[in-house]
Amino acid sequence: MRKSKKQSGMNAQERKSVSALSSIFALRMMGLFLILPVFSTYAHGLDGALEHPELVGIALGAYGLTQALFQIPFGMMSDKFGRKPVIAAGMVIFAIGSFIAGMSDDIVGVLIGRIIQGSGAVAAAVIALTADLTREEHRTKAMASIGVTIGMSFAVSMAIAPLLNTWIGVDGIFMLTGVMSLLSILVLYVIVPEPTHTGHHSDSEVTKGMFKQVLRHGALLRLDVGVLILHMSLTALFVVLPLVLVSDNILPSAEQWKLYLPVMLLAFMLMVPLIIVAEARRKMKQVFLSAIAMLIAASLMLAWAHDSLWWVAGALLVFFTGFNTLEASMPSLVSKYAPAGAKGTAVGIFNTSQFFGAFVGGVLGGFLYDPIAQNFATLFYVVAVMLGVWWLIAWFMPEPPYVATITLRVDIQDQAMASHVQAQLLALDGVVEVKVLLGEQAAYCKIDKHKLDEESLLHKAANFC
C-alpha cells in the first residue's frame, strides 16, 4: 500500500485549484440564485403571463428539470472527453440560456432560456476535476470548501438581487449571469491547473455499478425525498413571496434587500450552534427534525399573516434558519449513510433529487397561485403539508452512524490481494466499513474517530500492506 503522507494542510496548487473551482461554482450558482427573489414580479409583466400565469412558476423552476436530467450524464462525459472541455461546454450552454432569457419579452422565451440554462449542468464535472486536483486526505476538505462557497453565494444573491434589479432589471441580471458564465471559462483555463492524472473517484463521482445499492438504501432514499421537498418548498415559496411583498404594499421591490440581508445574516448565525450541536454532541436526527419543524412553522406563519412586514420577516428568519441548517447537514448525512465507496453515487442521486425538487416547486406554485384571487395562503398551506409529510418520513429515519470517510491509495495486483487488504483494515478497532476497488487502486474506509482517527489509521495500515 502507498500511504499518502499526512499533511498539515493543502499545498499551494491544491489551494489554488480549490479556490478557482469554488469561484466557478459560485459564479454558476449565483446565476441561478440571483433570479429567485425578483423573478415573479418581473415575469408577471411579460407578454403571455396574464393568459398563462402558471408559466411564471414553471419558468422559475424549469432549470431544475434539465439540471436533474443532465448533471449525472455531464459527469460521466467528463470521464470520457475530459473535465475542462465538458465544463466549458456546460458554461457556454448556461450563457446561451441566460442571453435568451434576458432578451425575451414574453414568458415563453424566458421559459426556454431557463430550460437551456439548466442544461449546462456542470456540477458533477467540476467535482470530478476537484477530485483529480486534490490528494485523498484533503478531498473532503476541498468538497466542504465548495459547499461553503455555494452557501455563501446563495446568501449574497438573496441580499443583492433586489439592488441589481433596481439598477439593471431582471433582464439585465440574466445578461450579467451569462457574462459571468463565460468569464468562468477564463478562470477554468487560465487559473485552474491541468491535472497530472485523471481517473474515476468513487467517493466523488457516480459509479454505474452502485446505483442499485444506493437506490435500495432506505435512509438515503429518505434524504433524497427530503431534499426534493426542501427545494420544492423554497421555489414554491418564491413564486409568490415577492408578489406578497409588493401586493400588500409591505415593501417595494427596490427596498426588499433591507429584508433579505438581515434575515440571511441572522439565519446564518443561528444555524451555526445548531450544526455544532448536531455534529459535536451527536444530536443529528434531533436537530434535523427540529429544522424541518421550523420550515413548517414558517410556512404556517406566512399563511396566517402575510400582510405584516414584521411577521413576514420573522417567518423568513425561522424558514432560513431551518433551511440553512438542513442545507449544511444533509450532505453530511448522505456521506454518513452511504456505503463505503458509494458516496459519489449517493451524492449524485441526492443532487438530482434536489434539482428536480426545484422544478416541482415551480410547477406547484405556478398552478396553485391565482393572480386575480391572490390566494397566497393556499400555497403556503400546501407547502406546510408537504413539509409535514417530510417530517413524518424523517421521523422513521435511523440514527445516523457518526463516521468519517477517508481514502487510502493501495498497490494491489488482483482481487485476492484486494480482499486481503480489506480484511486487514477491517480488523482495526474503529474501522467500521472498507471497500477496496482494484480498478481505482483505492481503499475507501469509514471510521469512528472517537475510537480511531485518520492519522492512526494511516500509521497502522502501513503495517498490514
DSSP letter string, 33-98:
HTTTTTHHHHHTTSBTTTT-THHHHHHHHHHHHHHHHHHHHHHHHHHHH-HHHHHHHHHHHHHHHH
Three-class DSSP category at 10: coil
Q: In what order do the strands lie in the sheet with 431-437?
A: 404-409, 442-447, 431-437
pLDDT bucket at 224, cuts 50 / 70 / 90: very high
Looking at residues 33-62, what average pLDDT do you find?
95
Residue 329: C-alpha distances to residues 39, 280, 286, 325, 443 (Å): 28, 12, 12, 6, 25
Residue 304 has pLDDT above 50, yes or no: yes
Instruction: Say which residue, 322 or 449, is predicted with more confidence.
Output: 322
- The answer for residues whose C-beta is within 8 angstroms of residue 12's C-beta and 6 or more apart is none
pLDDT of residue 461 exceeding 80: no
Evaluate the CA torsion angle 125, 130, 131, 133 in order and state its sign. Answer: positive
C-alpha cell at 353: 433529487
CB 184 within 8 A of CB 129: no
Q: What's the mean pLDDT in 92-111?
A: 97
Q: What is the per-residue pLDDT for 111?
A: 97
State mean pLDDT over 304-323.
95
Q: What is the model's pLDDT at position 409?
A: 81
Cβ(114)–Cβ(359) below 8 Å: no
Give Dmax over CA atoms of the chain in angstroms. 73
Average pLDDT over residues 176-191: 93
pTM reported for the whole predicted model = 0.93
Bridge partners, 431 (sequence order): 447
Residue 67's Cβ-count burial label (10 Å; 0-12, 13-18, 19+) is buried
Q: CA 271: distance to chain centroid?
A: 17
CA 316 to chain centre: 20
Q: Of 357, 348, 400, 139, whose CA–CA distance to 235 is shortest?
A: 357
Q: What is the mean pLDDT of the chain?
A: 90
Percent of the chain scoring above 90 in pLDDT: 65
Rounded mean pLDDT, 150-163: 90
Average pLDDT, integer, range 241-255: 88
Locus of grid cell 395562503: 377
Packing angle between helix 376-395 and helix 218-247, nearest 10 degrees? 160
Please state the rounded mean pLDDT for residues 428-432: 87
User: Looking at the predicted structure, is the pLDDT value of residue 248 above 90?
Assistant: no
Residues found in the chain: 465
- Cβ pair 405, 340 in contact under 8 A: yes
**Among the ranges 13-27, 226-240, 394-408, which has the highest mean pLDDT value?**
226-240
Count Cα neighbours of 356 within 13 Å in the Cβ-side half-sphere: 16
CA 229-233-237 angle, 5° bins? 170
CA–CA gap between residue 449 and residue 104 (Å, rounded): 54
Asked whether the predicted pLDDT for residue 156 surpasses 60, the reply is yes
Q: How confident is the model at residue 4 (pLDDT cuts 50, 70, 90)?
A: very low
Q: How many other CB atoms are there within 10 angstroms of residue 129's CB atom? A: 28
Backbone phi, psi, residue 121, to 5°? -90, 90
Q: What's the pLDDT score for residue 141?
A: 83
Element (DSSP H or E) covering residue 5: none
Query: What residue ranges define each of the domains in the chain, with the CATH number in brackets?
Result: 11-199 (1.20.1250.20), 206-402 (1.20.1250.20), 404-461 (3.30.70.100)
Confidence at 2, pLDDT banded by 50, 70, 90: very low
Rounded to whole angstroms, the Cα distance separating 282 from 242 reads 38
Nine cell digits for residue 404: 468519517
Distance separating alpha carbons of residues 320 and 293, to the nearest angstrom: 12
| Amino acid 85: pLDDT | 96
Residue 462's φ and ψ, nearest 5 degrees, are: -65, -25
